[in-house]
Amino acid sequence: METTWETPEANLKSPHRYSDVGRGAVYGSTSREALFAEVQHYGMPASDRVLVGTRVSIDNILDLTNPVVRRQLGGDARATDF
């Protein structure tokens, strides 16, 4: 693995919440707490992980936390479990 953004072979062989076997995923977070909670969800000690930070700027993102957007897409504008 050359960078932290590449998917390790073991990751490709395992199912995850957001990806199936054969499709790896990179998880990101806006807080250390959420990042470590994600790692611990899989029973891995956080001390075995390397924390890498970067700044990201995204334009034109679909914000499904916005009830107006969900209503425009025909979704439940009252949903709060995001």
Q: What is the pLDDT of residues 18-46, one digit of tens each?
A: 778 888 777 778 888 887 887 777 777 77
Domain assignment of residue 67, yes or no: yes
Number of structural domains the chain divides into: 1
pLDDT score, position 1: 43
Residue type, 42: Y
| Residue 82 located in a structural domain | no
The answer to whether position 19 is within a domain reads yes
For residues 21 and 3, the answer to whether their CB atoms sit within 8 Å is no
Q: Would you state the pLDDT for residue 5?
A: 64
Q: What is the pLDDT of residue 9?
A: 77
In a domain, 3, yes or no: no
pTM beyond 0.85 = no
What pLDDT score does 80 carry? 58
Domain that residue 49 falls in? 9-72
Q: Which pair of tokens denotes residue 77?
A: 């504008």
50-64 confidence digits (pLDDT tens):
777 788 888 888 888
Phi, psi of 39 (to 5 degrees): -60, -45
Structural domain contains residue 1: no
Does residue 23 belong to any structural domain of this protein?
A: yes
